[in-house]
Structure 1
């Protein structure tokens, strides 16, 4: 057996030195990406150049092979680097477009306490904006909106849809009546775990605490626990974790995030208990004033509309989008409270209200609908990885 030429401590020092070099190089790359954004302002080129990204990845994969690096490994690393570069440039352009919103501290309302998924989404979103959130914990989605509407919070963070359980109807219903504007979005991977306060076994669990959404997203696992399991619903996953921590019983558990559970002294009894392993929740960020989205940034617009009660009225509206080449990413219908059999349609499209095309689309939709309201135009934060054949 060949002995290493260096001691373990010497090897670790060498690895740490390389890690520091990598961090320094990543910082240098970020500075250059900012210069790219400044250049694109002059040339009016969009932030994303997919052809350039594709050529870059192909060259990096080829160069990586000369260093005996796996193509998937190289691709995964640079997908992350490219995503950071795109979001960094977008944030810079948005600060220029909205100088009044550029602040180091912002009051942010969200559902639940520390460690709730809404709390994690808020921290992730504002970390990208280099803004520290002053966190305001709320017990309901309505309270999240009211805190912003009354000026007690600058922003509110709300979950809007999940890849497993679908749309979060309570939030859609609240948006019918708010005066706030959607100013951002973020998609967060949801990693549900079974959390307990003491060492125990799964077959000893009798009561399961969580918000209704995680209960629904983990329904297959819950069913596997048997028909005698009791499900208790809490206002948030944070409240569920707090309850289980206080009870400190081997027969109770919570569904929540593993790292958040550690904040409450909980242990993960089982990981990955969601029905779908690819489980993501999309969150929206609301504020009292809309944001101006730089035309170089890919944008999304959300609006609500009520169509006539005649056959084909919705189809006519959707044809307006198709005829103008506007891609619709979401269509959700919800009943109008107090008006039986009448529905309000929530629509997400890829488009910027600053553009002539979207202005023309709205003019045509106004003629076809009984009611229409733009809830907001905001940057698309989900950077789709550029695919290459490796």
Structure 2
């Protein structure tokens, strides 16, 4: 990571005046967040945001990658700039090495390419059934009617939660991750989720099944059995990650395809391009806005950052950095696979990346086999939100 090597001209100095950057202000027209982050990256290699309590932002690929790879300085004990002193500790994402390493080793067998491939037929059947139920309608809100439903049911089955409570779980997820603190409802939703997951942990302790929670109940950490609280923190993380990230990525992918006829036609006519296209969509529309808490004073890009302060590492700023990829803000599905940080990097690189990729590929293949030609509905104005994850609130499509 480079320290204080840029700056010097008005408006471009990283150590200059604080910047009015609040990614959580919204809802906003779809695409606003990415355009704003592109602008800020080209003006400031790093800056301090005035939003909330204030936080630092790194904007360039190399600096964000270096931060992900340095957990000793950039601690995952806090991962949201809005909550620098969290009472919770979601496992494993909010653990630092070496404890994080232990948990990751235990969980890795459940998220390998082979483990994901075992689910392929089940995921495909579920995806096809959802789309078949929409195809004859001629329109839908893609976010509500597909993007949120498709990955969620798969996740619920994986961890052993009842799929018949899907709508209730989605309400909790939305309140916890996307409701502004001022509107209320977040604490109530988290309490309801915690109660539900506590019951799940207790049930699997008493009556193990063939699911991830039952297997995790048998883990040992540093020679001792895992505690109920550790299982609960693991379940909360799996719940929030499993219900949000793939849905967010799907929303941006289909927002792009609904507006770009050539890309949509290419995917519909040549499904073989889908795996590489997925990587390009992940790169251009990387949705996660993670943060880290500094463990020591550092000066980066001319910014005097202090121990205990929060630093946001927006993956979209990194993946759209033209220093890393030429014409980085443009989607080119024929581009040779390019480096991206949509799944993070370093010790916290997303465990679920293989399953996420599989779900995204199946969604694109099955949708375009049934609904190859679609548009944003006339008069519709899709909007986006931001929390830990960028995503669309609405995406009205017609065909």
TM-score by length of 2: 0.24
| Greater RCO, 1 or 2 (C-alpha within 8 Å, sep 6+) | 2
Rg (Cα) greater in structure: 1
TM, length-normalised to structure 1 = 0.24
- Structure number with higher strand proportion: 1
